[in-house]
Amino acid sequence: MTILDSFNLSGKVALVTGVGRGLGHGMAVALAEAGADIAGLYLTDCALTETAVTSLGRKFLPLPCDLQTATVDDLNQVVAHVQTELGRLDILVNNAGIIRRAPAVEFSETDWHAVVQINLNALFFLSQAAGRVMVAQGSGKIINIASMLSFQGGITVPAYTAAKSAVAGLTKALANEWAAAGVNVNAIAPGYMATDNTAALRADEKRNAAILERIPAARWGTPEDLSGVTVFLASAASDYVNGAVIPVDGGWLAR
């Protein structure tokens, strides 16, 4: 096997959450370009992603699911449905997430629970369901989406920071348990990306300028900037990478 062969995902099945837009769309398409069939979990619409994946000659299984209300049993059934319809499960990308902004003294209980439910609780229980399958088959790749706020505190995003810090810790905890079974658990920590979650920041002229001044690459990231590291972590090329949180941030943390 050559080094390029080790990145080939032909015959693999990937489950990607939040697949309808932004980072989830970009990562799903990247995995399909590398050869994987895609099960796409979405809330409102995933037509563009489905078209992009199937145009590459790959299968696409749409999975409507509201992670805000999904139970543990619902998530177990998602994994079982992927196995039934696509025959296997090799890769899980926990991408879906939301953010709520307010000063800590004003942050509501409703917003706190909503952010933690999607960004942490659903991520863990979906990983648990996938982990059972992957440990039993002796192979698998789980990729969590962390954040710059897995390393830093942020401003007016206490629930998001708490959840994303927990995602970094959980990534290491699951890697400790499952690495010996052939299951790699790692995380990507995107920097400031031009997605719906950052629309308010980009629309704020002062915040936008301050952020760009801090990024050595001098630009906001794009979903395509995550393509390479996603395929790497999903492939045999990363078989000895366990419990890593890899920043893709244009140099933000180095500044």
2-28 average pLDDT score: 97
Q: pLDDT averaged over the chain?
A: 97
Confidence (pLDDT) at 66: 97
Q: How far apart are CA 150 and CA 244, in angstroms?
A: 12
pLDDT band per the 50, 70, 90 thresholds, residue 98 = very high
Q: How far apart are CA 244 and CA 210, in angstroms?
A: 29
Active-site residue flag, 160? yes
Confidence (pLDDT) at 1: 81
User: Per-residue pLDDT for 45 more than 80?
Assistant: yes
User: Per-residue pLDDT for 197 more than 80?
Assistant: no
List, for residues 117-168, the tens digit of each pLDDT value.
Answer: 999 999 999 999 999 999 999 999 999 999 999 999 999 999 999 999 999 9
174-186 average pLDDT score: 98
Say which residues have a Cβ less than 8 Å from residue 142's Cβ, sequence separation at least 6. 91, 92, 94, 127, 130, 131, 134, 174, 183, 184, 185, 186
| Residue 225, phi then psi, degrees to nearest 5 | -65, -15
Confidence (pLDDT) at 171: 99
List, for residues 64-88, the tens digit of each pLDDT value.
Answer: 999 999 999 999 999 999 999 999 9
pLDDT band per the 50, 70, 90 thresholds, residue 201 = confident
Q: Which domains does the chain have, with CATH numbers?
A: 8-194+224-243 (3.40.50.720)
